[in-house]
A and B are shown apart, each in its own frame.
Chain A
Amino acid sequence: MLPALEITDLTVAYHDRPVLWDVDLRVPAGVLMAIVGPNGAGKTTLIKAALGLVRPAAGQTLIFGRPYAEQRRLVAYVPQRGSVDWDFPTTVLDVVMMGRYGSLGWLRRPGAREREQALAALDKVRMVEFAHRQISQLSGGQQQRVFLARALVQDAQIYIMDEPFQGVDAVTERAIVALLRDLRTRGRTVVVVHHDLQTVPEYFDWVTLINVRRIASGPVQEVFTEANLRATYGGRIAFLGRDGVGAPGDIATGPVAPEGMAG
């Protein structure tokens, strides 16, 4: 079976400084995969390059065996919620409907059908009662769930999410986990930039460790090992036990992305 996502020889540089160096990645269809690595390891850059949002110096991305540009409809992106201005004059429902814009063509406006799809997606993230709320009145976790709903209405095969667990409340964290599992049950592939090492074995079944280069990638039981983590995080990881004190302080973004704004 074709891998859902296959990245070969991906190299990205900013001002001659390599951010990602010769990264190869194969993500089988139907897995929940975490991408982990220290600050500035290029996690966000990796997914942005895969989505064509960052121009790589070299490398290519295949989606189910064909170039990304041909398969765009199969991929949905959930950016970091800090990447937009939440004071924008719009409502929750309107933001979620934006997920349909790609399928509407140039001139069609979203209508009743798009509205229904958006409401269904909001229901999945338990945000229906907020549909007509102005987006500036949302908490950080609620903003995150709106972004997830927006990706859900795309009805994609592959979901690529940048730090969805960043700074969210417990309710949202549980809602996201339930959503990820639901996606896996429905055969979707999910790639998540993640920063909390402790929850990796619980939430994900596949993991990629990167630090500019790809350190390891595969099933969590096989590659989420102390040796690989040490190779990824260097000396900074002294507390690797499953009941350790916490993840390495990592609210990492790639060099291109701004730090998340306060929710």
Chain B
Amino acid sequence: MIIRPYGSTYAFFTPTVPHMHFLTVVFTDYTLRTVALGAALLGVVSGVLGCFAVLRRQALLGDAMSHAALPGIAVAFWLTGQRDPLVLLIGATVAAWLAALLILGITRASRVKEDSALAMTLAVFFGFGLVLLSALQKHPNAAQAGLKTFLFGQAAALVERDLAVMALLGVPALLCVALLWKQFKLLSFDPEYAASLGMPTGFLSVLLTTLMVLAIAIGLQAVGVVLMSAMLVAPAAAARQWTNRLSAMVLLAATFGAGAGVAGALISATARGVSTGPAVVLCLTAITLVSLLLAPERGLLWSAWRRRQAMAIPE
């Protein structure tokens, strides 16, 4: 089910469009430009923070947190009755953050292991979110608010105000990573050594997780809670294949994320009935597959070729 609340968005879907040059359309059409910009921004932010999530082995935490954001969106809408992106994203951020705290609390206080705590929290929050969503269908503004697009994402629904909110959350997050680069790098590589140097590793760890939550919140509207974790994990995993330096990995992941974000958003905006989340994930999958197969040194084809070379020498 796809709800398209903004009439202006669809003026673009007229028979004249296919004859125009695609790129010209992207840069001149207001809606498509908004969509592309939004998708690029979220791709950069999630690509950058995804690198740290992957290197700290927190990819599943990202998945749990993005699912857990759903009830936050529903509650925020229910309490305020408005579809203002800032309000909804604050709700999403709070819920995702609470989920992260809950997971940490469960693993610390009980004998339940982290994977079980992740799975439980994800299921409980997401289930609660779905229940709230169905309950809210009775709300007079719910259909118009397009809450269901938060499940699988609808980049075509982005307007300028959404972009502003995304930038408001995303730019400070990126700035934070740039400023605390060495702290985050050491925290990801060797947290105990970081603590022995006197770095406040507890604070830094919470901060990095919070930035991850922001990256997720930015992507929810465009990509949706279900597939948002792919935006974190896939660009980072693909980028790791091509480089042995963290800085290069982060830049490359940002590029992959932005590329796949824009491509997926444009595919879904130009083809009727395709949610953005799945379209973005398919683009990311293509990038990741190519990286896994072809990357020098780490790629599967490369190592297969190496093995053949090694076998060939004795003869």
Give the residues from 176 to 226 in chain B that come closer than 8 angstroms, CB to CB, to chain A: 179-183, 185-186, 188-190, 192-199
A90 touches which one: B180, B195, B199, B246 (CB < 8 A)?
A: B246
Whether, in the assembled complex, B244 has its beta carbon less than 8 Å from a beta carbon of chain A, the answer is yes
Whether, in the assembled complex, B240 has its beta carbon less than 8 Å from a beta carbon of chain A, the answer is yes
Q: What's the minimum C-beta distance from B6 to chain A, rounded to whole angstroms?
A: 42
Q: How far is the CA of A99 from the CA of B188 in the complex (A)?
A: 15
Q: What's the minimum C-beta distance from B47 to chain A, rounded to whole angstroms?
A: 14
Q: Are A77 and B243 in contact (CB under 8 A)?
A: no
Q: Are A91 and B199 in contact (CB under 8 A)?
A: no
Give the residues from 83 to 106 in chain A that come closer than 8 angstroms, CB to CB, to chain B: 83-85, 88-91, 94-95, 98, 101-102, 104, 106
Which residues on A sit within 8 Å (CB–CB) of B197?
Answer: 72, 101-102, 154
Q: What's the minimum C-beta distance from A109 to chain B, rounded to whole angstroms?
A: 6
Whether, in the assembled complex, B35 has its beta carbon less than 8 Å from a beta carbon of chain A, the answer is no
The tally of residues in A whose CB lies under 8 Å from a CB in B reads: 31
Q: What's the minimum C-beta distance from B297 to chain A, rounded to whole angstroms?
A: 9
B196 touches which one: A51, A84, A85, A109 (CB < 8 A)?
A: A51
Q: How far is the CA of A94 from the CA of B246 in the complex (A)?
A: 10
Whether, in the assembled complex, A134 has its beta carbon less than 8 Å from a beta carbon of chain B, the answer is yes
Q: Are A90 and B189 in contact (CB under 8 A)?
A: yes
What sequence of 0s and 1s flags, for each residue 233-271 of chain B, a beta carbon within 8 Å of any chain A beta carbon? 000000010011110110000000000000000000000
Chain A residue with Cβ nearest B245? A89
Q: How far is the CA of A45 from the CA of B131 in the complex (A)?
A: 47
Q: Are A83 and B192 in contact (CB under 8 A)?
A: yes
Whether, in the assembled complex, B55 has its beta carbon less than 8 Å from a beta carbon of chain A, the answer is yes
Which residues on A sit within 8 Å (CB–CB) of B193?
Answer: 77, 79, 98, 150
The tally of residues in B whose CB lies under 8 Å from a CB in A reads: 26
Q: Are A98 and B246 in contact (CB under 8 A)?
A: no
Q: Are A88 and B186 in contact (CB under 8 A)?
A: no
Which residues on B sit within 8 Å (CB–CB) of A94?
Answer: 245
Whether, in the assembled complex, A53 has its beta carbon less than 8 Å from a beta carbon of chain B, the answer is yes
Which residues on A sit within 8 Å (CB–CB) of B199?
Answer: 101-102
Given A79-B192, A98-B193, 18 new contacts (CB under 8 A): A53-B192, A53-B196, A75-B196, A79-B193, A84-B189, A88-B55, A88-B188, A88-B189, A88-B246, A89-B240, A95-B189, A98-B182, A101-B183, A101-B194, A102-B198, A102-B199, A106-B180, A150-B193
Interface CB pairs A-B, < 8 A, 29: A48-B192, A72-B198, A79-B190, A79-B192, A79-B193, A83-B190, A83-B192, A84-B189, A84-B190, A88-B188, A89-B55, A89-B240, A89-B246, A89-B248, A89-B249, A90-B185, A98-B182, A98-B185, A101-B183, A101-B186, A101-B194, A101-B197, A102-B197, A102-B198, A106-B183, A107-B179, A110-B182, A136-B244, A150-B193
